């Protein structure tokens, strides 16, 4: 997704990205996940990104 940016770059755009994805509902972002994504550190984003494989 998004060409796999690093956590540092992803964190910088997260405040704009989460609401935009929420409006399009693609992927579905739950009420609990939105704030969690916005508060996630860049290092955590990198660790979690490694576990997710996009086909």
Whether 4 and 49 have beta carbons less than 8 Å apart is answered as yes
Q: Per-residue pLDDT tens for 1-55? A: 556 678 888 899 999 989 898 888 878 888 898 899 899 999 998 888 766 655 4
Residue 20 inside a domain? The answer is yes
Buried b (16+ CB within 10 A) or exposed e, 21-50: bbeeeeeebeeeeeeebeebeeeebeeebe
Sign of the dihedral through C-alpha 30, 27, 42, 53: positive
Residue 42 inside a domain? The answer is yes
The boundaries of the domain holding residue 30 are 7-49
The tokens for 55 are 């086909």
Number of folded domains in the chain?
A: 1
Residue 19 inside a domain? The answer is yes
């Amino acid at each position: 997704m998004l060409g796999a940016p690093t956590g540092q770059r992803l964190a910088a755009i997260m405040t704009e990205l989460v609401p935009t994805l929420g409006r399009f509902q693609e992927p579905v972002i739950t009420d609990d996940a939105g704030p969690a994504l916005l508060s996630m550190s860049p290092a955590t984003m990198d660790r979690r990104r490694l576990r997710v494989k996009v086909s």
